Amino acid sequence: MKTTLVAALALTLTCILYPYPYLLAALLAALSAVFLFLHKKTAYWYVFGIAAVAGPLAEAIAIHFGVWSYAFPQFVGVPVWLPMVWGLTGVIVVRISNRVNRVG
């Protein structure tokens, strides 16, 4: 799967389905699993896991201090789908970085 296609699909799903957090979480989990399975790099699984934990944790702290809020939070002020978005974003950033490093 093309990295940009996955990013665009994840963003589109999030923009359309955020009022349905559990459906969105399931679809993003499926997209993430397919993306990670197709690329078969163990490092991507680690990046996904770290980003999926660290990103929402940082956001929960910021939300606790009133920096921002979500329209439909399910757990400690964040939506249930947020770890999937953070995890996928982490892998996408690594893939883009790898591509840029190969070019320049």
Residue 55 lies in a domain: yes
Residue 44 lies in a domain: yes
| Residue 72 · residue 21 · CB < 8 Å | yes
Residue 51 lies in a domain: yes
Residue 20 lies in a domain: yes
The reported pLDDT for the residue numbered 1 is 61
pLDDT per residue, tens digit, the chain (104 aa), is 689 999 999 999 999 999 999 999 999 999 999 999 999 899 999 999 999 999 999 999 999 999 999 999 999 999 999 999 999 999 999 999 999 998 87
Question: 79 phi and psi, to 5 degrees?
Answer: -70, 155
Residue 104 lies in a domain: no
Residue 63 lies in a domain: yes
Residue linked to tokens 């920096």: 67
Residue 72 lies in a domain: yes
The reported pLDDT for the residue numbered 34 is 96
Residue 47 lies in a domain: yes
Give the separation between CA 99 and CA 48, rounded to whole angstroms: 18
The reported pLDDT for the residue numbered 103 is 87
The reported pLDDT for the residue numbered 40 is 87
Number of domains in the chain: 1
Q: Which domain holds residue 35?
A: 3-99
